[in-house]
């Protein structure tokens, strides 16, 4: 499953962020022009406080912290500890984290992030996945690429870099690392990309896990139970009332990009709103995600000037997942209660034909690897264990021999 000599076209990567760049960021934050206070009630609390977007008091406090106390260098060191690399795939430079396990039975796993995230979503879970405390638990060689136009990956200078092309690029990336057969996980945009990987390339993808198990469109609510109908209502309400950000980026990524690349305040507010709205919290996303980790993510966007290029994935791929695409490889699917879209199992089963584990988590939102990294790792590990067990059984049945995917 693992080649002994990966391609020489993969090169170690060390970003060169200068003190001058960080000082410029602080200077811009110090000169930020803030709007007036929102017109919500002075005694508003919880979600009501965020009704018109990030509250002035919260943003002002976070800007002050970003300018005077936040330190980029620990995150930079953390990326280096994991292992950073770059390679050119389909004409585009791709940045990725690569953490090889010391376990001889480890299985390759590619993890794909979404928007408004980055590889920052995975820095707190990679070590546990590669080196579990218990020898009976599965271990993984973890690859976490930055999407085209995100982080230290190149910005596409032509159209066409949608989810299908990214999935095909990931096949090349993994092959270049010597991984011909591998597992795949993704959420948000990483969900459709992982679905495309598993659906289009079943000879390479052993199985998959996603927190975004998108079902085909246009399915009937007949036969759904009360909880599943509530999920449908909540997802439709989100699409009708809270999807303006996606429509802006799907139609005018260049327009919003000017603000996101030029103003750290604008970038912060644009991303902070989503972390607040999409996490399983009451009053602030910092109930479950640290300020530093959120700012690691925002600062990565700022330093790489990727506000526009990251938004462009919506222009390329918004609601473009092939409605006829089916996934036959083993799939583990998890839905978190405060996620922005939730798909009933009967609907998901129309796309995923081999569901080996279905889980409805008791808590958590759109960013589980950041909100609850320990619980996320446990769920992902159990899901992939079920995938590997099913793949191993299929291998034995197909080949009449010992499975290469059996977990000891």
Per-residue pLDDT tens digits for 49-68 = 999 999 999 999 999 999 99
Distance CA 301, CA 295 (A): 10
Structural domains in the chain (count): 1
Q: Domain containing 102: what range?
A: 1-408
Distance CA 260, CA 103 (A): 42
Per-residue pLDDT tens digits for 17-29 = 999 999 999 999 9
- Give the pLDDT score at 403: 37
**260-280 burial code (b ≥16 CB/10 A, e <16):** bbebbbbbbbbbbbbbbbbbb
Whichever domain contains 308, its CATH number is 3.40.50.1820
Does pLDDT of 320 surpass 90? no
Helix/strand/coil for 178: coil
- Continuous segment of H or E residues that includes residue 79: helix 73-82
Record the pTM: 0.94
Judge contact between 10 and 176, C-beta under 8 A: yes
- Give the pLDDT score at 395: 52
Does pLDDT of 303 surpass 80? yes
Residues 6+ apart with CB under 8 A from 231: 335, 342, 343, 344
- Give the pLDDT score at 76: 98
Per-residue pLDDT tens digits for 78-112 = 999 999 999 999 999 999 999 999 999 999 999 99
Does pLDDT of 3 surpass 80? no
Average pLDDT over residues 323-340: 98
- Give the pLDDT score at 36: 98
Going by pLDDT thresholds of 50, 70 and 90, the confidence category of residue 399 is very low
Q: What is the residue-averaged pLDDT of the chain?
A: 94
Average pLDDT over residues 253-276: 98
Does pLDDT of 407 surpass 80? no
The secondary structure of residue 179, as a DSSP letter, is B
Average pLDDT over residues 227-254: 96
Q: Is 330 left (phi over 0), alpha (psi -120 to 50) or beta?
A: beta
Distance CA 407, CA 403 (A): 9
Residues 6+ apart with CB under 8 A from 286: 294
Does pLDDT of 5 surpass 80? no
Q: In this structure, is the dihedral angle defined by the CA atoms of residues 359, 362, 364 and 369, taken in order, positive or negative?
A: negative
- Give the pLDDT score at 400: 39
- Give the pLDDT score at 369: 98
Judge contact between 326 and 199, C-beta under 8 A: yes
Judge contact between 127 and 286, C-beta under 8 A: no
- Give the pLDDT score at 397: 40
Does pLDDT of 150 surpass 80? yes
Per-residue pLDDT tens digits for 348-394 = 999 999 999 999 999 999 999 999 999 999 999 999 999 999 998 66
Residues 6+ apart with CB under 8 A from 100: 83, 106, 130, 141
Distance CA 152, CA 226 (A): 45
- Give the pLDDT score at 405: 42
Going by pLDDT thresholds of 50, 70 and 90, the confidence category of residue 318 is confident
Does pLDDT of 396 surpass 50? no
Average pLDDT over residues 207-230: 97
Per-residue pLDDT tens digits for 183-216 = 999 999 999 999 999 999 999 999 999 999 999 9
Going by pLDDT thresholds of 50, 70 and 90, the confidence category of residue 116 is very high
Full strand arrangement of the beta sheet holding 331-335: 11-12, 84-89, 92-99, 140-145, 107-112, 182-186, 205-210, 331-335, 355-360
């Amino acid at each position: 499953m693992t080649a002994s000599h990966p391609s020489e076209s993969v090169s170690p990567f060390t970003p060169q962020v200068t003190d001058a760049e960080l000082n410029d960021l602080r200077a811009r934050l110090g000169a930020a022009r803030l709007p007036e206070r929102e017109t919500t009630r002075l005694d508003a609390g919880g979600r009501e406080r965020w009704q018109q977007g990030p509250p002035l008091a919260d943003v002002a406090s976070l800007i002050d912290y970003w300018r005077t106390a936040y330190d980029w260098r620990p995150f930079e060191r953390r990326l280096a500890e994991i292992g950073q690399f770059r390679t050119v795939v389909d004409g585009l430079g791709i940045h990725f984290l690569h953490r090889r396990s010391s376990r001889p039975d480890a299985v390759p796993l590619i993890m794909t992030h979404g928007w408004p995230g980055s590889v920052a979503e995975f820095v707190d879970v990679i070590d546990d996945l590669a080196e579990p405390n218990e020898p009976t638990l599965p271990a993984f060689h973890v690859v976490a690429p930055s999407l085209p136009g995100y982080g230290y990956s190149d910005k596409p200078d032509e159209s066409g870099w949608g989810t299908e092309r990214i999935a095909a690029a990931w096949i090349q990336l993994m092959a270049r690392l010597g991984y011909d057969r591998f597992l795949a996980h993704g959420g948000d945009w990483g969900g459709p990309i992982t679905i495309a990987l598993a659906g289009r390339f079943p000879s390479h993808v052993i199985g998959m896990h996603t927190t975004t198990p998108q079902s085909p469109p246009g399915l009937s609510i007949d036969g759904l139970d009360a909880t599943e109908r509530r999920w449908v209502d909540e997802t439709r309400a989100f699409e009708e009332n809270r999807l303006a950000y996606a429509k802006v980026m799907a139609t005018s990524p260049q327009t919003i990009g000017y603000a996101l690349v030029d103003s750290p305040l604008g970038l912060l507010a644009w991303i902070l709103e989503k972390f607040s709205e999409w996490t399983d919290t009451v009053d602030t996303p910092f109930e479950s995600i640290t300020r530093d980790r959120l700012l690691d993510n925002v600062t990565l966007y700022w330093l790489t000037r990727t506000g526009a290029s990251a938004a462009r994935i919506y222009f390329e791929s918004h609601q473009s997942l092939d409605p006829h695409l089916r996934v036959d490889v083993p799939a583990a699917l998890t839905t978190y209660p405060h996620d922005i879209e939730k798909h009933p199992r009967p609907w998901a089963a129309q796309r995923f034909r081999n569901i080996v584990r279905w889980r409805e988590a008791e808590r958590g939102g759109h960013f589980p690897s950041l909100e609850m990294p320990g619980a996320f790792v446990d769920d992902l590990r159990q899901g992939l264990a079920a995938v590997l067990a099913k793949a191993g059984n299929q291998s034995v049945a197909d080949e009449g021999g010992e499975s290469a995917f059996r977990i000891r």
